């Protein structure tokens, strides 16, 4: 009987985005979802499923779901700020002691809330899920390229590239394959005939550019000492890791990053063996891009391992140009 | 037309606000779970320390005033 009642409450509506028919309840709570985009619909539906068991959603709940948590927080903070300023103005006009305190408090907390709300908050698992697909693409390219037998990719220095701010990985076809000359490097094409191999965009290129933006410097204008000094501070500032060390032993650079936020993504990359060996995970790739730019020499990722204490140690070899 | 708050009132307000902020900044660091309000804890700590410093500055001004008026 219960199922029959539910069926009678439901009705079929045409979705505005794709025109497909959907079964939507006539319950007023669920009316809100009609007319929204498909991803919003799923989110709103899931949110209201819980609410249906209790009372009807409040206006604030609907606004929160429509605008998103961050926007609601900003709207509330702005309202507090405006109310505070109005109250302060009123206190000056009417010489009111109470209104002055209320105005001071509201405007201060409004401004503070605007200041302390982070610009963007993304769940780590969403970020990992979004990034791992592009790594699977690199894996397909590497597996598809039958000629490529050497697993290690070489991060080319800026002097070999047409755009010195960019980065490129060259995966040679064999161990005897030489590195390409500047005029041979074709950043637009995937495959190279002379020397034989493939060119790939490093998975950590965007991340290394973000590092440059945060440091307000191009790595091409820096050196290894600068990276050793600034990378630990930068990683702490960006909340990637609280403990990072960069050591140099001859031509080997060892970077140890403890308990970093890219752990899950690096674990995903390690499942894609060819990708992991050729270009590394986005974090090690970004660091390789930075090293290639800072040293001005080709760099390869020799080894990348994560210890049980959640520290990732990456060994880079700086090749002679 | 003038602001009806004197220096003592503002000092008191800063003192109360800085205490609230300093306690909140410490509690936010210890709290790890679903949050109703997204907070950049580093910025909150910076704001708390600024308010604390501002309060100490007002106290210094008071002490200086007391010394110079005697």
Q: What is the per-residue pLDDT for A58? A: 60
Separation of alpha carbons A85 and A294, rounded Å:
50
The answer to whether residues A62 and A161 belong to one domain is no
Separation of alpha carbons A202 and A283, rounded Å:
10
Q: Among all residues of chain B, which has the CA nearest to that of A119?
A: B40
> How many Cα neighbours within 13 Å face the side chain of A186?
12
Q: What does the DSSP 8-state code read for residue A181?
A: P
Q: What residues of chain B lie within 8 A of the CB of A100, using their CB? A: 3-5
Per-position DSSP letters for A85-130, written without gaps between them: HHHHHHHHHHT-HHHHHHHHHHHHHHHHHHHHS-S----HHHHHHH
Q: What is the per-residue pLDDT for A319? A: 87
Residue of B22, B34, B39, B41 to mutate, interface with A, max A Cβ within 10 Å:
B39
Q: What is the per-residue pLDDT for A178? A: 78
Contact call for A112 and B1, based on CB within 8 A: no
The answer to whether residues A161 and A283 belong to one domain is yes
The answer to whether residues A80 and A186 belong to one domain is no
The answer to whether residues A295 and A276 belong to one domain is yes
- Per-residue pLDDT of A297-321, as tens digits, reads 999 998 888 887 778 899 999 988 6
Q: Which residues in A122-150 are b (16+ Cβ under 10 Å) and which e?
A: eeeeeebeebbeebeebbebbeebeebeb
Distance from CA of B32 to the nearest CA of A (A): 14
Q: What is the per-residue pLDDT for A34? A: 38
- Looking up tokens 């390229």, which residue turns up? A145
The answer to whether residues A100 and A159 belong to one domain is no
The answer to whether residues A27 and A93 belong to one domain is no
Select from A282, A38, A315 the least CA-distant residue to A138: A282
The answer to whether residues A87 and A149 belong to one domain is no
The answer to whether residues A77 and A185 belong to one domain is no
The answer to whether residues A146 and A234 belong to one domain is yes
The answer to whether residues A98 and A222 belong to one domain is no
Q: What is the per-residue pLDDT for A56? A: 52
Q: Among all residues of chain B, which has the CA nearest to that of A76?
A: B37
Q: What is the per-residue pLDDT for A32? A: 38
Structural domain including A17 reads: 2-67
Q: What is the per-residue pLDDT for A2? A: 41
CB A115 within 8 A of CB B47: yes
Assembly ipTM: 0.78
- Per-residue pLDDT of B11-56, as tens digits, reads 999 999 999 989 888 887 655 555 566 677 788 888 999 999 999 9
Q: What residues of chain B lie within 8 A of the CB of A73, using their CB? A: 37-38
Q: What is the per-residue pLDDT for B29? A: 64
Contact call for B13 and A105, based on CB within 8 A: yes
The answer to whether residues A167 and A278 belong to one domain is yes
End of a domain among A67, A85, A103? A67
Distance from CA of B35 to the nearest CA of A (A): 10
Q: What is the per-residue pLDDT for A136? A: 82
Domains of chain A: total: 3
Contact call for A115 and B38, based on CB within 8 A: no
Q: What is the per-residue pLDDT for A12? A: 42
Distance from CA of B23 to the nearest CA of A (A): 15
Q: Among all residues of chain A, which has the CA nearest to that of B48?
A: A112
End of a domain among A84, A116, A148? A116
The answer to whether residues A105 and A194 belong to one domain is no
Low-confidence ranges of chain A (pLDDT < 50): 1-55
CB A312 within 8 A of CB A283: yes
Q: What does the DSSP 8-state code read for residue A180?
A: P
């Amino acid at each position: 009987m219960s199922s029959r009642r539910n069926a009678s409450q439901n009705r079929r509506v045409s979705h505005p985005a794709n025109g497909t028919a959907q079964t939507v309840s006539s319950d007023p709570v669920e009316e809100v979802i009609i007319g929204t985009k498909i991803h919003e619909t799923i989110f709103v539906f899931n949110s209201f499923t819980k609410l249906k068991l209790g009372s009807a959603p409040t206006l604030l709940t609907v606004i929160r779901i429509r605008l998103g948590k961050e926007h609601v927080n900003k709207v509330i903070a702005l309202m507090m700020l405006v109310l505070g300023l109005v109250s302060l103005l009123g206190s000056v006009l009417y010489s009111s002691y109470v209104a002055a305190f209320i105005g001071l408090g509201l405007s201060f907390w409004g401004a503070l809330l605007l200041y302390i709300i982070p610009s963007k908050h993304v769940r780590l698992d969403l970020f990992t899920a979004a990034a791992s697909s592009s790594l699977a693409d690199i894996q397909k390219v590497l597996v598809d390229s039958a000629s490529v037998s050497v697993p290690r990719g070489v991060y080319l220095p800026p002097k070999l590239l047409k755009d010195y701010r960019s980065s490129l990985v060259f995966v040679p076809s064999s161990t005897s394959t030489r590195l390409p000359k500047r005029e041979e490097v074709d950043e637009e094409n995937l495959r190279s005939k002379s020397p034989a191999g493939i060119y790939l965009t490093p998975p950590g290129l965007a991340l290394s550019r973000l590092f440059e933006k945060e440091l307000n410097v191009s790595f091409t204008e820096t050196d290894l000492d600068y990276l050793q000094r600034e990378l630990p501070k930068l990683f702490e500032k960006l909340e990637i890791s609280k403990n990072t060390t960069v050591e140099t032993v001859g031509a080997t650079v060892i970077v140890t990053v403890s308990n970093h936020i890219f752990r899950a993504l690096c674990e995903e990359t390690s499942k894609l063996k060819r990708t992991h060996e050729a270009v590394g995970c986005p974090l090690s790739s970004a660091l390789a891009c930075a090293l290639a730019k800072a040293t001005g020499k080709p760099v390869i990722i020799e080894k990348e391992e994560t210890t049980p204490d959640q520290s990732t140690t990456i060994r880079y070899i700086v090749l002679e140009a | 037309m003038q602001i009806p708050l004197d220096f003592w009132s503002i000092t008191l307000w800063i003192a109360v606000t800085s205490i609230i902020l300093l306690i909140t900044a410490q509690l936010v660091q210890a709290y790890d779970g679903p949050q109703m309000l997204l907070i950049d804890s580093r910025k909150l700590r910076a704001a708390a320390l600024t308010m604390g410093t501002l309060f100490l500055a007002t106290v210094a001004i008071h002490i200086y005033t007391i010394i110079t008026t005697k």
